[in-house]
Amino acid sequence: MPSKTIVWFRRDLRLHDNPAWNHAVGKGSAIIPVFIHSPKEECPWQRGEASNWWLHHALEDLASQLEKHGLDLVIRDTKNTLQTLTDIIDESGAEAVCWNRCYEPAMVKRDKEVKKQLQEAGIETHSFNGSLLLDPLKVTNKSGKPYQVFTPFWKHCRDIEVRKPETEKLKSAKSHSVKSLDLTELNLLPNIPWHEGMAEFWTPTRDGAIELLESATSKSKDYDAQRDIPSDDGTSRLSPYLHFGQISPREFFHHIRDNAPSKEKADTGIIRQLYWREFSAHLLFHFPHSQDSALKPEYEQFPWDFNEKLLRAWQKGETGFPIVDAGMRQLWHTGWMHNRVRMIAGSLLVKHLLQPWQEGARWFWDTLVDADLPNNSMGWQWVGGCGADASPYFRIFNPITQGEKFDPDGDYVRKWIPELAELPTEFIHSPWEATPIELKAAGVELGKNYPKPIVTHKEGRQRALDAYEEFKEIKES
């Protein structure tokens, strides 16, 4: 009888360039593919509804990939991952468990305990890096410490060879039958059908990832010029596929490197952004407190002024600043927001409105299909001025001039805020400056069908600067 090996899928929902899968196939084992839906008790940052929608379809797609190998995906829902793995081992007679590592703090802690207990029970375990280009434990500065600034991290890492992706190893033998839940029993799909926009915007399968990867290759030539224009399809939009592991970062890296029209432009543009993803994971792995606390501890004393009404207006895209509101509405409709607009919307929340960056992080976590703990935490701390490589808190985006610069014709605003569509371009980012006659001609009633600014830029900017001065006094006292 051949040995039996459990391949424990997590955020590696693919077979191509999947180290755990390839190791199990290489052993000649009968394979039992398993996905375990983990509880909040083990993973405090539980997926939001948008991510759950994506996960449902990604698991459906993984099951289809496995069926081609004569395998059925075993699905379990549990309050104790170790116990569930032990149960599957007992039911199947498996002698080994393989998985690809996750590097978030709760996952690292849980996986260490799982590995320890399984090994003590005589079960062979193998874990691999299948989600990053480089293992965070193996990247250090000259002093042997983790990096906290991106540029030296990038300069160091870009000189490290990235291994070629492994092709998918074939498997056709039927695995031992183990009981499984039906995917629908995980209840990942929203109860209220608000996700139609996501379904129109995304194809959450490996084929969808490959299609976008092909288009990203051609975009790489003009990536730096186009990636900040939200009305253009200038970014790769591959972040959710990378998060759920429907493509691997090595696959992304080498496909762009091998096929980009300009290798130099690809390296300084789209490839560099891939290393920002690596940097985020590196930071969270080495500084686990930064998942929900400031990387720079002194910022825990910052005088935020939480206000649920202001937060709610921002969440609903009703701040009165068109570029921000357009982004928030794009997020709600598609589960995604253009990166430049993420920075503008984030800046308005934490600076003009003085809301804690954690509130923005929680909202993005619940509404983004690409919600990724390292990227989300680092991005919000960058905006809040309290993270690595952060924008200083006193650097405050002007949402009006940002809109005029990156959406000069107002195409992005008109798409997501149709009530402003008829406004002349000169007023599209500041409708309050239009005359009553111009507003009436465009069908805009400020305060009725589109809000007045929740705070003026001048007032919001001064409020942020005053808070920063107060913070400096607190630090010095």
Q: Per the annotation, where are the binding residues for FAD?
A: 223, 235-239, 370-372
Taking alpha carbons only, the member of 315, 472, 323, 305 closest to residue 393 is: 472
Question: Do residues 249 and 164 lie in contact, with contact meaning Cβ atoms separated by under 8 Å?
Answer: no
Chain-centroid distance, C-alpha 387? 17
Q: What is the DSSP string of 234-299?
A: -S---HHHHHTTSS-HHHHHHHHHHH-S-HHHHHHTHHHHHHHHHHHHHHHHH-GGGGTS-SSGGG
User: For 305, what's the count of Cα atoms within 13 Å in the CB-facing half-sphere?
Assistant: 14
Using CB atoms within 10 A of its CB, is residue 402 exposed (0-12), middle (13-18) or buried (19+)?
Answer: buried
| Residue that is written with structure tokens 């940052």 in the block | 45
Distance CA 380, CA 240 (A): 18
Rounded to the nearest 10°, the torsion over CA 443, 445, 450, 452 is 140
For residue 6, give the H/E element and its range.
Answer: strand 4-9
User: Which structure tokens are listed for 300?
Assistant: 């825990």
Q: What is the DSSP string of 151-189?
A: HHHHHHHTTSPPPPPPPPPP--SPPPP-----GGGG--S
The side-by-side arrangement of strands in the sheet containing 30-37 is 74-77, 30-37, 4-9, 96-100, 124-128
Question: In the chain, helix, strand, coil percent, each to 5?
Answer: 55, 5, 40
Q: List binding-site positions.
A: 223, 235-239, 370-372
Question: Do residues 350 and 334 lie in contact, with contact meaning Cβ atoms separated by under 8 Å?
Answer: no
Using CA atoms, how far residue 325 sits from 51, 85, 310, 321, 396, in Å, is: 22, 45, 13, 6, 18
Distance CA 226, CA 235 (A): 7
Distance CA 288, CA 105 (A): 6
At residue 292's C-alpha, the angle toward residues 291 and 298, to 5°, is 105
Rounded to the nearest 10°, the torsion over CA 297, 300, 303, 306 is 150
DSSP state of 139: -
Rounded to the nearest 10°, the torsion over CA 361, 366, 368, 370 is 90
